[in-house]
Amino acid sequence: MVAGIAAARLRWSLKRGLTTLGLDESLEILRRHRDEQLRTGIVTPADRSWFFTLYFDATGAELLACSAVKNQRPSRADGQKLQL
């Protein structure tokens, strides 16, 4: 389940052109641990510039992977203007 969520997050981020760190590598690691129970954690910096996801083994003792998605507004490359 965790690998599926990470895969969806990667597709969503790529589709929107968001900057990611380690998301594709994390997905590969998570697929190797597909049949295991995992724990996840989220770290959000005070400025909310990035969202980090940590993936641990079932006991929470070993960090398996870490990924991040930059918090940025999608660009309006299509020329649309924001309406208020």
Q: What tokens does 15 get?
A: 């589709």
The Cα 24–Cα 69 span in angstroms is 11
60 DSSP assignment = S
For the chain, state the CA radius of gyration: 15
**Both tokens of residue 75?**
């660009």
| The pLDDT value given to residue 74 | 58
pLDDT, residue 9, reads: 87
pTM for this entry: 0.76
- The pLDDT of residue 83 is 45
The answer on pLDDT for 18 being more than 50 is yes
Residue of higher predicted confidence among 81 and 14: 14
pLDDT tens digits along 23-67: 989 999 999 998 889 999 999 999 999 999 999 999 999 999 999
